[in-house]
Amino acid sequence: MSTIKLKACILGMYLGRYSREDGTLITTSVEGAVEARILSRRWKPGTNANENENQLVVPKKTKVFVEMMNREKEK
């Protein structure tokens, strides 16, 4: 396990392939900054044994939510 210290509050993260590098961590901050960090080449996707245990349960979009989203897009 590795720790990365960042100065800003994180809005979003993406871990995966970017260009030729398989292990790239891209973060966006609340202020709008974008950071890309290339992980060690020894990193392999899916090497975390506890990955499936820590998955978040995300409910499906309800009909009401989809209708509200469409109304906001029209405005």
**pLDDT > 60? residue 73:** yes
CA 22 vs CA 16, 17, 70, 72: distances in Å? 6, 4, 36, 37
26's tokens: 């891209």
Predicted confidence at residue 45, as pLDDT, reads 66
- Give the start-to-end residue ranges of the domains of the chain: 1-42
* Coarse DSSP helix, strand, coil percentages of the chain, rounded to the nearest 5 percent: 15, 30, 55
**pLDDT > 50? residue 70:** yes
Mark out the alpha helices in the chain (DSSP H runs).
63-74
15's tokens: 């871990």
Q: What is the mean pLDDT of residues 56-64?
A: 76
- pLDDT of 13-42, one tens digit each? 988 888 888 888 899 999 999 988 888 777
Predicted TM-score (pTM) of the model is 0.51
- pLDDT of 41-51, one tens digit each? 776 666 554 55
Predicted confidence at residue 49, as pLDDT, reads 45
